[in-house]
Structure 1
Amino acid sequence: MRRNAGTGSTRIGSKARGRGALAAGLWLGLAGTAAADEPRTFRDWMAGCDNVRTCTAISLPPETAETVAYLRLERPAGPEGAARLLLRLRGDWKKPPAALQLKLDGVAFPAAGKPLPATADGDVVTVTLSAEDTAALIEAARKAAKLTVAAPGLSAGISLAGSVAAMLWIDEQQGRLGSATALIRKGTNAAVPPAVPLPVVAATPVPPMLDVKAAKQQAERLRALLKKRSPDSCEDDAADGDGAWSLGDGRVLVALACSRGAYNLSSSFFVMPENEPTRAQPLRFADGEGGGGNELTNAGFDPRTGHLGFFAKGRGIGDCGVSGGYAWNGREFVRTELAMMGECRGIAPEDWITLYRSAAK
């Protein structure tokens, strides 16, 4: 994702075409990686799958909505993979009532009209639909146009346009079409591909963090060398964001902060022998700034776990962008997770579409 160095943001327009440009821009950094296919947009819904074919579908709230409500459906691969459907509320829903009333095109849902219990965690209110209610809503989505959520003094609508197409696409990705476990196109075919195991990543903790003075010296030496070679490669006014950590065996991880914006700090990462900047090697991140580059945005390294995470914001409130992480295994940084949301619609980062996941050894 290439950012505007002056603002630290992706070039986002206020209209739908701007949101599309954001999604395209985010994917410039992901092309050619081992992640699952790019998320797809189906009218008012988005769907995507990860590397083990766990798939997610999310309704997209209107761009101008102040009271945000959306549905998130996630389903693991394999014959036993069960769909889990959540209703999420953000914005004015800060203190949820004991229960919420739902309607489908003006008709009470579930059919008995029972209010559904809600829980709150930070600024996110959640209703977890039962397996029975999930199946009922999926079936109703074939004809219904809108799900309405109401509480005293508050209401929000969720468009179902595109939901059936999104779930049909998920069935296709998981090999469920024509099977009894399909969400949409059911049949008698019993041959559903099994779920594949998660890749296992063994992270290696590194020695205690370099003291402030030593870390500053390592970064300063590398920055000075690179400035001689390429004067415009890193902005000097971002140098206070530099960092360095020991990786053991005389090696150092160095992060040079090269571009600072309003809410994004882009850093270049190198591994070098301690005190030898001429032998520094740029890292190659699959999810970096395109072409396997060594830049990550809003990145942080935890030497206690060997984990390097990043969170590139599409805009300041952090409701769109790309997030992910890598683990140091003693030789290199290996991808551990990746998620994205290419539409700025108030969707919480924990609900973004996961494209890669792993298990820790």
Structure 2
Amino acid sequence: MATAADEPKTFRDWMAGCDNVKTCTAISLPPETAETVAYLRLERPAGLEGAARLLLRVRGEWKKPPATLQLKLDGAAFPAGSKPLPVAADGDVVTLTFSAEDAAALIEAARKATKLTISAPGISGSVSLAGSVAAMLWIDEQQGRLGTGTALVRKGTNATVPPAPALPVVAATPVPPMLDMKAAKQQAGRLRAELKKRSPDSCEDDAAEGDSAWSLGDKRMLVALACSRGAYNLSSSFFITPENEPAKATPLRFADGDGNDGNELTNASFDPRTGHLAFFAKGRGIGDCGVSGGYAWNGKDFVRMELAMMGECRGIAPEDWITLYRSTAK
């Protein structure tokens, strides 16, 4: 799926990216063959007050998740002389949220250290720090922090840091109650038949069970035609059409859409209560890489609300992917 935003950049074993309001994220990439998936994730908003937040995620197969983790930097205890650090568990993932002091110490140590190792009863893992300094230096550059006291890496005496851009506000508009299934299938079936007359190969017939339609009010319909089904991805084409007039349908144009008209989304879902249309294009079946995002209906069109990406399939959960666009709904 093409993206209108700048894609994340890779720095050896790390990846980094920034969104439209200059909130930037750096994340370590676990080895493809790691038995225990462990990664660091650093996120920092732009502006003078933007504070870095550093997390360590560890995913393992355990009957009872560990309550603490013991960390070492190149074999030396981290933090120096510390006891194991407490973690929060959520299913098969535990999260260690570093204090501001420990985060600053780890960022400073990354200049020379090469590996963070993690251990707990029955668990061992590691995080490579190769590329972490370059990723953080790049973030400092994107946020205008180079040579300032707030820089992650290249600090200086300059006290001026550019403010964060304003967060876009989208006027999301709910739509009328959902059509019943029969009416939705009728609207979609009429459009599918119309498009088949124009372009017989545009949509696979065996995916038609995924078709749907919703009322947008004022006798307008949003119609999704399921056009291509794979092992774990379903691609749908979206149109706006006058009710019962499929010949007048027009394809939507999404900021990150695929297809000839940019009106295709993968694994899309629409919530008429909020007017929000989401998609999740998986890079592989377990959903640890790909592109996700969403749009809001504003009464006239669908405008982009959020976009996140993870280009490497390394066991990183979708909630930790690098955000490339964000907004807020009014």
Distance, in Å, in 1 between the alignment partners of 2:100 and 2:59 is: 24
Cα shift at 1:346? 0.1
Distance, in Å, in 2 between the alignment partners of 1:292 and 1:323 is: 19
**Aligned residue among 229, 232, 239 for 1:270:** 239
The sequence identity of aligned pairs, in percent, is 85
Going from structure 1 to structure 2, the CA distance change for 1:308 and 1:60 (only over 3 Å counts) comes to same
SS of aligned partner of 1:139:
helix
Please list the CA deviations of residues 248-294 of structure 1 after superposition, one character each: whole Å capped at 9, or x if unmatched: 00000000000001100000000000000000000000111167600
Counterpart of 1:7 in structure 2 is none
RMSD of aligned alpha carbons: 1.1
Counterpart of 2:139 in structure 1 is 170
- Are 2:285 and 1:312 equivalent residues in the alignment? no
SS of aligned partner of 1:316:
coil
Structure 1 unaligned runs (5+)? 2-28
Query: Partner letter of residue 282 of structure 2?
Result: K
Going from structure 1 to structure 2, the CA distance change for 1:333 and 1:200 (only over 3 Å counts) comes to same
Counterpart of 1:244 in structure 2 is 213
Distance, in Å, in 2 between the alignment partners of 1:257 and 1:147 is: 46
Counterpart of 2:174 in structure 1 is 205
- Are 2:31 and 1:67 equivalent residues in the alignment? no
Distance, in Å, in 1 between the alignment partners of 2:174 and 2:91 is: 31
Distance, in Å, in 1 between the alignment partners of 2:156 and 2:20 is: 26
Query: Partner letter of residue 321 of structure 1?
Result: G
Please list the CA deviations of residues 83-123 of structure 1 after superposition, one character each: whole Å capped at 9, or x if unmatched: 00000011325632221100000100011222111111233
Please list the CA deviations of residues 50-70 of structure 1 after superposition, one character each: whole Å capped at 9, or x if unmatched: 000000000000011121000
**Aligned residue among 49, 55, 72 for 1:86:** 55
- Are 2:300 and 1:350 equivalent residues in the alignment? no
Question: Post-superposition, which runs of at least 4 consecutive aligned residues in structure 1 deviate over 4 A?
Answer: none
Query: Partner letter of residue 120 of structure 1?
Result: A
- Are 2:16 and 1:47 equivalent residues in the alignment? yes
Counterpart of 1:228 in structure 2 is 197
Q: Given the two structures, how large is their TM-score scaled by the length of structure 2?
A: 0.98
- Number of equivalenced pairs: 330
Distance, in Å, in 2 between the alignment partners of 1:339 and 1:60 is: 16
User: Any residues of structure 2 matched to 1:138-149 within 5 Å, and which?
Assistant: 138-149=107-118
Counterpart of 1:180 in structure 2 is 149
Distance, in Å, in 2 between the alignment partners of 1:261 and 1:308 is: 21
Going from structure 1 to structure 2, the CA distance change for 1:290 and 1:144 (only over 3 Å counts) comes to farther
* Maintained 8 Å contact 2:251/2:261: no
Going from structure 1 to structure 2, the CA distance change for 1:142 and 1:310 (only over 3 Å counts) comes to same
- Are 2:189 and 1:189 equivalent residues in the alignment? no
Distance, in Å, in 1 between the alignment partners of 2:93 and 2:250 is: 42
Going from structure 1 to structure 2, the CA distance change for 1:346 and 1:234 (only over 3 Å counts) comes to same
Counterpart of 1:126 in structure 2 is 95
- Are 2:86 and 1:117 equivalent residues in the alignment? yes
Please list the CA deviations of residues 161-207 of structure 1 after superposition, one character each: whole Å capped at 9, or x if unmatched: 00000000000000000000000000001111011220001111100
Distance, in Å, in 1 between the alignment partners of 2:241 and 2:260 is: 21
* Maintained 8 Å contact 2:266/2:280: yes
Distance, in Å, in 2 between the alignment partners of 1:228 and 1:125 is: 54
SS of aligned partner of 1:208:
coil
Counterpart of 1:136 in structure 2 is 105
User: Any residues of structure 2 matched to 1:101-112 within 5 Å, and which?
Assistant: 101-112=70-81
Distance, in Å, in 1 between the alignment partners of 2:63 and 2:170 is: 38
* Maintained 8 Å contact 1:104/1:146: yes
SS of aligned partner of 2:224:
strand
Distance, in Å, in 2 between the alignment partners of 1:95 and 1:357 is: 36
Q: Given the two structures, how large is their TM-score scaled by the length of structure 1?
A: 0.90
Cα shift at 1:124? 2.3
Cα shift at 1:128? 0.1
Structure 2 unaligned runs (5+)? none
Going from structure 1 to structure 2, the CA distance change for 1:86 and 1:205 (only over 3 Å counts) comes to same
* Maintained 8 Å contact 1:201/1:358: yes
Going from structure 1 to structure 2, the CA distance change for 1:336 and 1:292 (only over 3 Å counts) comes to farther
Distance, in Å, in 2 between the alignment partners of 1:158 and 1:290 is: 38
Query: Partner letter of residue 159 of structure 1?
Result: S
